[in-house]
Structure 1
Amino acid sequence: MNRMNIEKDAKSIMQSRYSEKLWDKSLYRQLFGDIGAATASAALVSPAVTIIDRAFVEKSLLNCSILRGLKKHTIAALKTPHRFIFSVPFGLIWTLYAATYTVANGSDTICKKFETPAAGIITFVTTTLVNVPLGVWKDMKYARIYGIRNDHDAVSKTSEPLQQELTKKVLKPKPSGAAARAATAMFLLRDSVTIFGCFTLAPRMTEMIPDDLVPGCPEAKLVIAQLTVPVLTQVVATPMHLLALDLYMRQDVKFADRLVQSQRYLPSSTAMRCFRIIPAFGFGCLANMELRSFFHRKLNV
């Protein structure tokens, strides 16, 4: 009798371990699908976001025409796509969104597997911890690459007596001290607002859309929420973005003057960031969700 019980217990343990192995394998497949969906979605949105970001930074720092910048950089990307794709700015954008989508996907998958009650909060926190530092790093790089590059070109075209003065004003070292900490804090807050709107608020708003608005098509609610909520977050995030850029590029400026300068182009900059967020966290998130569902279905077969 004892021997039969021992055999049953051993068999039960083996079955339990086998089921755990299958469960782990299923989880790994889903996580692999999460990574595939994230990297593919990032590749889809990176060209548009790279061009828009460059035009926006040049507008914020150098007062260049946004439409002219969009046209010029789009034509340059189409003429030399290999140079554009393998450029540092494109790599920065792709890294940012591939990492953001990957962490958001992975956090959601793991939370669902373990049936975690606070899945939305965990996904928001983990995604923010990855997106915010990478976003700040990307913005600092863009400010240095495009701000200094274009201003250096302007310096070289001026007359000799003005070049030394312009060089002193334009080719500034990286900010330090309070200005750098304040700029970083504003970038952190800006990105937190955007991430919350994209990955936490948008799914919740889906349930608030009336059925009469999209009868017989519940999937349309998600599309509407994902294309509108992230855009509306930029009304709050854009003033933070402009102030952060001004803090980073200009030192020894009074706060009142800084506020006036940073909000000078607020309407156009808000419209631009709303436009920018559509491919990044609108179509990008939708593509990520669809590809993720597709990979989960295929890899779990």
Structure 2
Amino acid sequence: MQHQAHREPPSFIFTRSTKIYELLAGDIAAAAVSATLVAPTVTIIDRAIVEKASSNQPLLRSLRHQAWSLLKSPRQFMLSLPFGIVWSLYAGTYGVANVAETISERLTPEHVGTIVGASAFLVNVPLGVWKDVRFAQMFARIPSRVANTAAASATATVPMPKLRPSRSATTVWLVRDALTLFGSFTLAPRLATAIPDNLALHPQTISQLSVPALTQIIATPLHLLGLDLTTRQHHIPWMQRIADTTRSGLLSTTIVRCFRILPAFGFGCIGNTEMRKALHKQHEQYD
């Protein structure tokens, strides 16, 4: 067996005493915990936005109702389908980004940012569209005239029928998600390196919290337009759709989505990164 000493060097997986599967396990654990922390807030806000956009239900009332449901029955809330959908979205996004970073750091360290951003985009976009469609199916309401009553002019709401997103809605949401992910995974880290240390104690934290939130100024009208295209699939002129979305609480929805993005791509990304580093540090032992 002396010829074994002349074999080629081992692959990158075994160049460290730490096996790659230990690092990947830390990646997945960090993603799961981070998703669990951010999913309640995102679930509450996304449901309220759908109800506001489709039936003009007051945004704050819906937020209060869902928050109370979480506080009253946290176990039931976290076992619900909406929570599971949102959790899957962010666990998948964080998890794939973590795994891509771990592997690319060892294979092509000069392209880590590009690989991580592209991987997160390819996972987040389809899961994000799936989440938006399912929320529209579960929570959107369409107006229905109440007939044969004293209040004949009043309106009620009925559940949205099961439907598929149109190509236009999918395209609009694709642009929305591309903008959000670019701000979160690419622009925020680049701006953090450009901030002088004497101007901020924690430039990475400041950049990661502010940049994704500011992207919602542009992303929110796109989100509402995509939701309108999903819930009203009959022919409506584009200018009328745009006018309708801007009238239906655009300012309040933008503010709420700015706060929504903080846990998802602000605190969530920071927490995921720090947990990943801590878990990796437990195993990172160089020979």
Normalised to the residue count of structure 2, the TM-score between the two structures is 0.89
* 235, 239, 247: which one aligns with 1:252: 235
Structure 2 letter corresponding to 1:288: N
- Counterpart CA distance in 1 for 2:217 and 2:207 is 16
**How far apart are 1:115 and its partner, in Å?**
2.9
What letter is aligned with 1:189? Answer: V
Q: Which residue of 2 aligns with 1:10?
A: 4
The structure 2 residue matched to 1:144, chosen from 137, 140, 146, is 137
Tell me the CA shift for residue 299 of structure 1.
2.5
Structure 1 position 75 matched with structure 2 position 68: yes
**Deviation at 1:141?**
0.4
Distance 1:208 1:83, change over 3 A: same
Task: Map 1:254-273; keep pairs closer than 5 Å.
Answer: 254-264=237-247, 265-273=249-257
Deviation larger for 165-174 or 281-290: 165-174
**1:33 equivalent in structure 2:** 26
Q: Give deviations 1:17-57, integer Å, cap 9, x for gaps.
A: 49863549532221111111000000011111111111111
Partners of 1:49 and 1:237 in 2: CA distance: 16
* Structure 1 length-normalised TM: 0.85
Give the match's secondary structure for 1:143.
helix
1:299 to 266, 283, 287: 283
1:236 deviation in Å? 1.6
1:202 to 159, 183, 188: 188
Structure 1: which amino acid aligns with 2:277? S
Aligned match of 2:198 in 212, 216, 220? Answer: 212
Q: 1:135 aligns with which of 111, 128, 131?
A: 128
Task: In structure 2, list runs of 5 or more residues that go unmatched.
Answer: none
1:216-231 residue pairs with structure 2 within 5 A? 217=201, 220-231=202-213
Alignment partner of 1:185 out of 152, 157, 171: 171
Q: 2:35, 2:91 within 8 Å by CA — same for their partners in 1?
A: yes
Provide the identity percentage: 42
CA contact (8 A) 1:33 1:295 kept: yes
CA-CA distance at 1:13 after TM superposition = 2.2
Partner of 1:174: 163
Q: 1:20 to 1:121 in 2, by over 3 A?
A: closer
Q: Which amino acid aligns with 2:112?
A: A
Question: 1-side partners of 2:87 and 2:180: how far apart?
Answer: 18
What is the rounded CA distance, in whole Å, between the counterparts of 1:268 and 1:296 in structure 2?
41
More helix by proportion, 1 or 2? 1
**Which secondary structure does the structure 2 equivalent of 1:207 belong to?**
helix
Cα distance in structure 2, aligned partners of 1:64 and 1:19: 55
Q: Against the structure 1 CA distance between its residues 212 and 290, is the aligned structure 2 distance closer, same or farther, given a 3 Å change threshold?
A: same
Q: 1: distance between equivalents of 2:223 and 2:199? A: 34
CA contact (8 A) 2:14 2:20 kept: no
